[in-house]
Amino acid sequence: KLPFLEEFITPIVKATKKDKEISFYSLPEFEEWKKDTENNHTFNIKYYKGLGTSTSKEAKEYFQNMERHRIRFKYLGPTDDHHIELAFSKKGADQRKEWLTSHMDEVKRRKEIGLQERYLYTKDTKSVTYSD
């Protein structure tokens, strides 16, 4: 019930050009930007695999802007209890596999019928729910 879970996010991709830097926190967001930005090929693109890919300067920038990088989880009720157990319970490994497979199938289905991919994090994301 209390906000006991938080996430610290870092960019997955950065696009830079001269003094301009754009950070992306999801691949679909980056792909959308590429599609909408005619001169995207003129940007230097760097893919990140986690905090270890970041330079020490970048890591300092992330920690100096905790408001941007800290994502809080909001508890919305008993349904969230189920989602927390699904994500973390040792007993729920098989259910977790089904859940992930189902999500991947949904991503594939949306792509096949031309729907935009959904993404969890945007520049403005401050919190998510356990159901997200």
- 117 versus 85: the higher-pLDDT residue is 85
E strands within 9-131?
13-17, 20-24, 44-47, 70-74, 127-129
Three-state secondary-structure class, residue 105 = helix
* Predicted confidence band of residue 43 (pLDDT cuts 50, 70, 90): very high
φ/ψ of 29, rounded to 5, equals -65, -40
pLDDT in tens, 68-85: 888 888 888 888 888 888
Q: Of 130, 132, 116, whose CA–CA distance to 27 is shortest?
A: 116
- 18 versus 52: the higher-pLDDT residue is 18
Three-state secondary-structure class, residue 85 = helix
- 124 versus 70: the higher-pLDDT residue is 70
* Predicted confidence band of residue 131 (pLDDT cuts 50, 70, 90): confident
